[in-house]
Structure 1
Amino acid sequence: MSLDIYTDLEHRRQLDREFPEWKAWRATDSLGEPGDWYASRRRRITPEQLRAGLWATVHAASPEALRDLLAEQTEIASRTQ
């Protein structure tokens, strides 16, 4: 296993631990090269939640930026409940 794959796995595991309501992954391009980071909710969201600013899937260029987006989504969700 290459170092990049190991590092990606550790980032995904950390994001999944910090945000258990989300599933994180890293996309690959058509050549199999690493791409952007994504996370999708494990449960569906309602139209009301969408209007409040919640997203079913988010993406970012780095795991750190994805963590920030997930934290923002968590904050929005706490205000809509």
Structure 2
Amino acid sequence: MAFRDTSDLHYWDADDDEPLRRLRACFLRWRIWRGKDEHLQPVGWYAARRETVSDEAITQGLQQSVDASSAEELAVLLNEQDQLYQRFRAASEQ
């Protein structure tokens, strides 16, 4: 799986955006932001891991970054990724 280039996405730091604040508070291992369209309106929900994921972890289903169309969808993806990460770490420690 290739690393998704997110350099063309604009960071959306709307501290008054409650769903964004909640996601950031719940998923501390992730950098979470909103994109902006050409009219500077918020679009999409994005998250990138703060630490790099190994190639081996990626083959096990972990992703360096994820995106979703809603805050709820992103929360589901991040929960799934965090559970996969915990299982991967537990298996690699054995």
Which one of 38, 62, 75 corresponds to residue 70 of structure 2? 62
Which TM-score applies when normalising by structure 2?
Answer: 0.75
Could you tell me which residue of structure 2 aligns to residue 47 of structure 1? 55
Distance apart, 1:34 and its partner CA = 1.5
Distance apart, 1:17 and its partner CA = 1.2
1:33-55 CA distance string (max 9 Å, x none): 21100011011110011111111
Q: Name the one with the larger helix percent.
A: 1
Which one of 25, 34, 39 corresponds to residue 31 of structure 1? 39
* Aligned counterparts of 1:17 and 1:32: Cα–Cα separation in 2: 25
Could you tell me which residue of structure 2 aligns to residue 79 of structure 1? 87
Which TM-score applies when normalising by structure 1?
Answer: 0.86
SS in 1 for 2:53: coil
* Aligned counterparts of 1:45 and 1:12: Cα–Cα separation in 2: 24
Could you tell me which residue of structure 2 aligns to residue 21 of structure 1? 29
| Stretches of structure 2 lacking an aligned partner (at least 5 in a row) | 1-13, 90-94
Aligned residues: CA RMSD: 1.1
* Aligned counterparts of 2:61 and 2:47: Cα–Cα separation in 1: 16
Distance apart, 1:74 and its partner CA = 0.7
Segments of 4+ in structure 1 off by > 3 A?
A: none
